[in-house]
Structure 1
Amino acid sequence: MQDLLPEKKARFRLIEDQARRVLAGYGYQEVGLPILESTSLFSRLVGASTDIVEKEMYTFNDRNEESLTLRPEGTAGLVRFVNEHGLAFNQTQRLWYTGPMFRYERPQKGRYRQFDQIGVECIGMEGPDIDAELLLLSARLWSVLGLSSSVTLELNSIGDAASRQAFSAALVEYLTRYKSD
């Protein structure tokens, strides 16, 4: 955890304000999400066997023995928000959120257990056009923040389910030949 001195808090506020302007220009609406969520939300939406759920969440039982978690990321809470408020039914939404997130990670230089995150989610939209929009939005934000010359965007893909399965089988077959080495 870290304290934010006035100068650093002012920089955070500037980043958030610039992001707010850029996101509004792309038609995104800001939503507020709770810092505490039911633990089951993350198990269901992030995956019970992921490192986040198994190793990195701050989880505790409240006085009613309900398991609660300090949010480790924003997507799961936003999905819950969209479903609870009926925003997904035959609609498209461009939503964004900001705020503190919490992960139980080994502290190291530049990595803290509490960190601030800005996240965007496109509900009811898919395909390369929305991917391109998010890339352009990111590039615009980097430009507005004066980071364009300091940031490199590297794209990667893990492929679709069939490609991943074929790759996994080929990798196992290849490594099996060297098992005794």
Structure 2
Amino acid sequence: MKNHIVAAFRLTLVMLAVVGIYLLIVYGGSKILPTKGNTEIITWNGQKFYANIGQEFKSEKYFHGRPSSVNYNAAGSGGSNKGPSNEEYLDIVQKRIDTLKINHPEMNNTKVPVELVTASGSGLDPDISEEGAMYQVKKIAEVRNLSEEKVRNLLKNQTEKPFLGLLGPSKVNVLKLNMALDQLK
């Protein structure tokens, strides 16, 4: 019996060391990021927004981010918990695809980027892919009476490349993109 207690105690110490080292690596790693692991608060039109929390944009003159399963409520983040074979979930995604195609008839023959019709795990993802933003360029250029080239150039300037050029896809922060869009002449 005594050997079991000693073995359990040793295992506990080893796991504490492993978890402690992991936490130090995560914490230290966050400090080399551009935001130092902190939130980025942006003031726009007299209101404060968190750049790392998805926002809802209803107007046609703005780029739209991922749908939210929590209505963009940061206090209650979470996914829908419905799997890809769930009929109700498939109906919701199909309705989003249909709505997107109605709102962007010029893109009817183009593949719909997945993040424009599916919510993220948190329901608060602030970023979309460059492809997801490019899907919306034509409509926004038309609504704002701008050239598509001008909107594309803005999009390219707002696109964040993968960390070290390797890890993850290119992405666009929708809030920052829309702020820059408002500053276009």
Name the TM tier (shorter chain): under 0.3
Q: Which has the higher strand share?
A: 1
User: Relative to total residues, which structure has the larger helix share, 1 or 2?
Assistant: 2
- Give the TM-score normalised by the residue count of structure 1: 0.25
TM-score (norm 2): 0.24
Larger radius of gyration: 2
